[in-house]
Amino acid sequence: MKLLGGFVPARWFGVIVLVVGLLSGSQAFARVQLHVWSATDTSAFEPIIKAFEERYPDIEVVYREFNTSELYQVVMYNIDNPDMEADVIISPAMDLQVKLVNEGLAYQFEPENAEAIPAWAKWRNELYGFSFEPAALVYNKQAFHGLTRPTSHTDLSSLVRDYPEMFRGKIGTYDIRKSGIGYFFATQDAIQNNQSSRLIETFGRAGARLYCCSSEILNRVATGELVLGYNVISSYAIEAAKNLPEIGIYFLRDYTIAMSRTAFVPKTSQAKYEAQAFVNFLLSHEGQEVLANQSALIPINQKVQTELSPHIADIPVFRVKLGIGLLGFQDQLKKKSFLEDWRSSILWNREDE
């Protein structure tokens, strides 16, 4: 496995350049390179790539990590570029993925294990969801000691208003202008909950802090710099909680939005066969087991037991369906006005940080 950066000016996205694994001399030249561009933490994806490379010794995976919005922009920017290196594109932002596929970028194929994917997580025989990741509430256990945990979004709103001192400047959530997955969760909140703007206003009044990524929020919750993280990707949260016991994970009981990390093979791929093998592997029982046991990610296959299973057993999970509907909030005008509303709510008396 190889981790690469470059290609687009570095200010677009921060890429970790890493070369992992020793390539034994003679084999190195024979191996086909498979470029996976993904908006997934490298650490979360590493075990899958290792397992895949063991299974297919002839394929070398070159992994490149992006932020969701960056990935979308890079791919859209290279829409007509036959030299685009990507062979598999993976992102948790389902709306952005649908938009890319709707542009006709994706190569159509039927994976071997397609029937194991629930209908909501596949589209057009082109876009396939392989993980199941609800949006979680994370909190600092020490700070929350003695507090009744909120059960609904309205409860959460009241709680923040009731303890202004405790939450002032200590709520963290995505800066949805920069994070595609943050925007996706925020828009799904708006669809599910007509009170969602009030929650954002409450956060704004409490001086909520905005971050690009789940990891930033999680680290700060662990140290106590934040007491609450809102709409954090649960897979990352569960993984972080293993190492950082201060982190508590919680799902609201009125509704919890769940997304699926999706993958597609671009038409421009030069290694379609290997790319298909990779997607097949992600969806296979073997791959799903790797997700469940070795990776932070949570498999979509309901037959594979996960650490998450007990947490969400009785929570009404709203699974966002892949499809044209997701384009609604990707309309330029609509996005502009949504972001404007959001900005004025969350930064009501502040300037951009």
Distance, CA of 263 to CA of 94 (rounded, Å): 10
Tokens in use for 344?
A: 């004025």
What are the structure tokens assigned to 146, written together?
């003695």
**Residue 251 is which amino acid?**
F
* 109-117, 177-185, 208-216, 329-337 -> range binding another protein (CB under 8 A): 329-337
Q: How many residues bind another protein (CB under 8 A)?
A: 19
Q: Does 81 help bind another protein (rule: CB under 8 A)?
A: no
Give min distance, CB of 331 to another protein, in A.
5
Q: Which is nearer to another protein, 22 or 119 (CB)?
A: 119
Q: Does 123 bind another protein (CB under 8 A)?
A: yes
Beta pairing partners, 122:
128
Beta bridge partners of 318: 257
Residue 50 or 321 with smaller CB distance to another protein: 321
SS3 77: helix
Which CB atom, from 104 or from 310, has the smaller least distance to another protein? 104
Q: Examine residue 24 and tell whether it contacts another protein (CB under 8 A).
A: no
List, in order, residues 6 or more apart from 78 with CB less than 8 Å away.
84, 268
Site string for another protein, 130-169 (x = CB under 8 A): ----------------------------------------
Q: Is 194 in the site for another protein (CB under 8 A)?
A: no
Structure tokens at 288: 């799903």
* Contact status: 272 vs another protein (CB under 8 A): no
Question: Interaction with another protein in 212-241: which residues (CB under 8 A)?
Answer: none
Smaller CB separation from another protein, 23 or 327: 327
Closer of 124 and 178 to another protein (Cβ): 124
Q: Which residue in 66, 250, 329, 342 binds another protein (CB under 8 A)?
A: 329
By CB under 8 A, tell whether 325 contacts another protein: yes
CB count within 10 Å of CB 32 equals 15
What are the backbone dihedrals phi and psi of residue 64, each rounded to the nearest 5 degrees, phi first? -135, 125
Closest to 20 in 3D by CA, of 60, 67, 65, 71: 60
Q: Does 76 bind another protein (CB under 8 A)?
A: no
Question: How does DSSP assign 174-215, residue by residue?
Answer: E-TTT-HHHHHHHHHHHHH-TTHHHHHHHHHHTT-EEESSHH
Interface with another protein by CB under 8 A: which range of 194-202, 245-253, 294-302, 325-333?
325-333
191 binds another protein (CB under 8 A): yes
In the complex with another protein, which residue's Cβ is closer, 154 or 192? 192
Other CB atoms closer than 10 Å to residue 10's CB: what's the count?
Answer: 10
- What's at 86, amino acid-wise? A
| 94-113 residues near another protein, rule: CB under 8 A | 101-104
**Under DSSP, is residue 63 helix (H, G, I), strand (E, B) or coil?**
strand
Interface ranges with another protein (CB under 8 A) = 101-104, 123-125, 191, 323-325, 327-329, 331-334, 337
